[in-house]
Amino acid sequence: MSRFRWGVVPVLVLAFCTPSNGVADARTVDRPGVGVTVKASVPQAEEGDRVTLTARIKSPATARRVTLLKWVVPQYVGSPSWEPAKSVKVRGRSKVGFGIVATGPNADRYKVSVTYDGERAAVASKSLSLTIWRWIPLYSYTPYYATSGTDRGEYALNGHRYQGWGAVWYSNGPSWEARFTPGRHCKAFQGVLGVTDGSDDGSSGTIAFTADDSPIYSSPPLTPGMELRVEVPLAKPYRFGIQLADTSPDKLESSPVIGDPAFLCTGV
């Protein structure tokens, strides 16, 4: 009879998770002597602003390298992932700053990871979210109400060409109005106010804004050759209105318009 000897063969399985970008996944830990946190210099910013993210590192003497990671969502194909943005040696520092540019849209997400002597995997912070505001052209919003004689187009103010909105030259009306729905996502409105260069010499006009049917701004008299740049704060109104008026003397006509009008918004 054949005899079989049974034994136990030890098997060692090492699991590493290394994504396609070549940076090993970091694990979030919170124990004495090991860890990192990250804080932004501001909680929100406009698109294009520079912001400083500061990593605070525990036990910097044993920390080797700190890496800033950004949450990237592909526009068309692929899965969202944490991608390395910047990486530097710690060199014994307990604080390391990273300068970034706010991009959005709506929010940027970051975290940092640190490699330590004696640690197999990098140690990661909790993620932070930075609210991003961006300027959205008025023509991205379709007015839910508008009087005849108003339109989007290219207008000349003081010899400068603008993409804008206002009274068309052939409308021959005393006043015009349009109402838009930014939907409580916007905190400012900006534009260049004036009357078109095709307005009669000696003519004038005014432009006023409303928020949820309450007046919030009225321009001084606007005459040919004027360019009045304004930025009007908003309390995140649901409705936004624009009122144009031709205030010219008899037999003279003006066309009030807004060049490059835009809302400052987030969450849209």
- DSSP 8-state assignment for residue 222: B
Q: How confident is the model at residue 83 (pLDDT cuts 50, 70, 90)?
A: very high
Mean pLDDT of 107-123: 94
- DSSP 8-state assignment for residue 235: -
Mean pLDDT of 230-247: 98
Cite the beta strand spans of 43-101 per DSSP E: 44-46, 50-57, 63-72, 81-89, 95-101
User: What burial letters (b/e) apply to 239-250, b meaning 16+ CB within 10 Å?
Assistant: bbbbbbbbbbee
Other Cβ atoms closer than 10 A to 203: 21
Q: Is 190 in contact with 268 (CB distance < 8 Å)?
A: no
Other Cβ atoms closer than 10 A to 51: 19
* Per-residue pLDDT reduced to its tens digit, 56-66: 999 999 999 99
Please state whether beta strands 50-57 and 95-101 pair in parallel, antiparallel, or not at all (unpaired).
antiparallel
pLDDT of res. 20: 38
Q: Is 51 in contact with 102 (CB distance < 8 Å)?
A: yes
Mean pLDDT of 144-161: 95
Position 98: which residue type? F
pLDDT at 45 over 90: yes
Q: What percent of the chain has pLDDT over 70?
A: 88
**Residue among 29, 97, 91 at smallest CA distance from 60:** 91
Position 43: which residue type? P
Give the residue, 32 or 38, on which the prediction is more confident: 38
pLDDT of res. 100: 98
> How high is the mean pLDDT of the chain?
90
Other Cβ atoms closer than 10 A to 265: 24
**Residue among 242, 186, 253, 189 at smallest CA distance from 218:** 242
Residue 81 and residue 17: Cα distance in Å, rounded? 13
pLDDT at 13 over 80: no
User: What is each CA distance from 102 to 30, 66, 87, 134, 204, in whole angstroms?
Assistant: 29, 21, 18, 10, 41
* Dihedrals phi, psi of 140, to nearest 5 degrees: -75, -15
pLDDT of res. 63: 96
Q: How confident is the model at residue 32 (pLDDT cuts 50, 70, 90)?
A: low
Q: Is 51 in contact with 130 (CB distance < 8 Å)?
A: yes
Mean pLDDT of 2-19: 38
pLDDT at 12 over 70: no
- In the chain, the domains with their CATH numbers are 27-133 (2.60.40.1930), 141-265 (2.60.120.1060)
Position 193: which residue type? L
Give the residue, 161 or 21, on which the prediction is more confident: 161
pLDDT at 11 over 70: no
Query: pTM higher than 0.95 for the full model?
Result: no
